[in-house]
Chains A and B, each alone.
Chain A
Amino acid sequence: MLGFGGEREAVSKVGLTAADLVAARRREPAAVTRVYTAYAPALFRFFMAAVGDHHQAEDLTGTTFLSAIESLPRFRGPIEALGGWLFQIARHDLYDHRRRQSRSRIEPLDDNLNEATQVAGVVDPEELAVDRVDADRVVAAMRQLSDDQREVLLLRMAGGFTAPEVAEILGKTTGAVKALQHRGLASLARVLGLRSPEQPQERPYPSPDPGRLTSQEEEER
């Protein structure tokens, strides 16, 4: 379970109470707004790092929040578990989004950059591309991680969850999550030149099979 407190007077770490949850189920504007204010920024960061596009991340945030509020009457957990539940919906929405993306045509990078250049008011698309790489260096490097590692790091850093909470969301053990976050960060450090390639590792990276990596880790424990 994500929450460890009792149901009465429980307050989540983002400051929501059980009363907020009850009121949000009834779609009382103040409570819905509090839930949104508590989680939307983290959801947006999660989506932004995952898809790398502002508009798509905004749309995904809105879609996730809308479906979460619509499904809220079916949520039976304590208020402390609400964040994890929301991010489970976010993951599903992200998978759906990626599935749709993979079916649609791949737009040439130049088109994207030209459009983004107009939005950003920059004259030179190349300049924008360089700026983006500089600004999102670490996030861009995350694309080289395995899906599991990336997801763990995003939930941890963008979602603000603890390792046990991430484990609950992903259906893994806490040990596996800790191992994944360690490997993910170690790989990022190497990619970004902060750690020499010859530094000792427990396992070679990148793992050819993220699923196998997880089970290996679980066996070890």
Chain B
Amino acid sequence: MSECHDVAAPALQIATGAPLIALAGQPNMGKSTLFNMLTGLNQHVGNWTGKTVERREGFFHHDGREFCLVDLPGTYSLTANSPEEVVAREFIVRERPQVVVAVVNAANLERSLYLVAELISLSAPVVVALNMMDVAAQEGIIVQPEVLAAALGMPVVPMIASKAVGVKELLSVVAAILDGKLVSSPKLPEVRADHREILQQLQSLIAEHVPPPYPPEWVALKLFEGDSEVTRMMESELPAESMSAVSAILRQHDDAFLAVASGRYEWIGRMVRAAVTQPRIGQISMTERLDHWAAHPIWGLFILAGMLGLVFWVTFTLAAPVQDWMDERLIAPFAEWVGGLLQGAPSWVQGMVVDGAIGGVGSVLTFLPVLVVFFAAFALLEDVGYMARAAYVMDNLMHLMGLHGKSFLPLFLGFGCNVPAIMGTRVIDSWPARLLTILIAPLVPCTARMVVVAFIAPVFFGENALWVSWGLVLMTLITLVLAGMLLNGILFKGQRSAFIMEMPLYHIPNARTIGLLVWQRSMAFVKKAGTAILGMSLVVWVLSYLPYGDLNTSLLARFGQFIEPVGRWMGFDWRLTVALITSFPAKENAIATLGVLFGNSPEAGLAEALAASFSAASALSFLVVTMLFIPCMATVAVVRQETNSWRWAGLSVALFLGLSIAGGALTYHLAVLLGLG
């Protein structure tokens, strides 16, 4: 998961002719650790063209030579089950990296060689990075790299990427292959014996029609595996009669994919038997002992709740003082200083720069400390291996919405900010489940909304403010579950996607991996503040200034008065309505707008003015609406980007508009009935 939505960012400056190296591997093999180790901050995160799959590339130097490194998405295989798998293989086939480094896990050789078995049937030379030698030793497994290399017919470099052991050796091997001093000539796996003849037959049927640069043998295998993309490609390439012959073969052998997979595992079995001289000893591992609690259906939930509580506690304890400090010591003096510089300028210029630009972007930037701490805590839990357990224990609850455990991970991220949450839905394999998660993710109360609650609740509810805040969070989460159940029933007819997820071994977190993840997520947020939020802040300011330079007669006020009747259902006057509308660029703008509308700084003065102007019922309704309102502009933009459709983004806006108005009206009238009016 990461924030690589900035496709237009400048590409890296890499010397032309630098050799192109691809890094491939299954998830949880230490591939990212190796990538970060090699490239450090010389990396760029973007998207693969036309795909919502993260593309990470970077450069590094070795022996005075520059190399370009592309980190392929972590996938278990190269069959077109997901966009990640398509991206990985298309890269190798079309962009022709000079060397592919396949990262495998020495502690789990059998499974991790599966991807290698797929990689070697493509054209590029493959080097095996035998990572996690230390973990293997801990588990009592002994692997002999030389024997493995001889068996595979490929160079194998033992390494411990997290400790930078073996990295130089790996690069020397890569360089040797580039210079032609070393060749990788792997022994290819075959399909299981009972299907070999029929595969031959298939291959001869298609051989002449396979479009270059695809290797015909590989295409035949993929047809056997029922790969949807390759099947589609051959349907358009093959003459009708050959295609019907091919279809007949495939129909007759619809279990052929198992023959292919079994063939690969037979091949792997031979390699493992040769190279692993001591298999895992039957001790109860640390992972097993921890999972006894962390993955328990009941204790696991308590542990998860404890973890969440801890994350929030740490986030607000560490970050809140920094946030106040930024507000008072950084943003305010900066605004004053700029104001001083602009003394001679017309008042509208001063207003636009100081109130519009600095006020708008500044208030958003003060969230950075909160997000940094939250992202760090999340990245730590992720890197340790805990998040898979969180997904596992949440599976039952997610079933209520037709989702499964994996959807919980992005939703959790949403407590920090909804934008990375929606990007984080990329971990979900099936598209309907991912879409549903994207649609409900804005119902996770983000820090920005909690700021509005934290400001308004004490004004109206005094000592009960904490209970009101918790109640609002609970109400929002219950709405999330109900909305999920409803949408699943309507849009997806209650179908449910499969839950298949590896539970990685727990391991010691890598500071560099966490640091880079936090850095990338935070920078994406800063970029957003500097572009989209800046733009919208200026628009709101202009609307609140024109035509007479007075807010009360401005276009914004007129608009607020125009739609005030709708606001009235929820107990709002035009000012609360306007505040709500201006929360679209960024949720916490609501307070800034109220500050402007009441002609006060958003400090104690505003609190008194609000208390004098509105009833508790109106305030409660305003808070409910804030929690349920249209997602912020950045979130809507990401929904549109990740679904690649304005339709879903529009539906999301309409959904939350309806939900918030209904929720607000209901709350207001109930509160009035209860005597809060």
Do the two chains bind? no
Q: Which residues of B contact A (CB under 8 A)?
A: none
Q: Which residues of A contact B (CB under 8 A)?
A: none
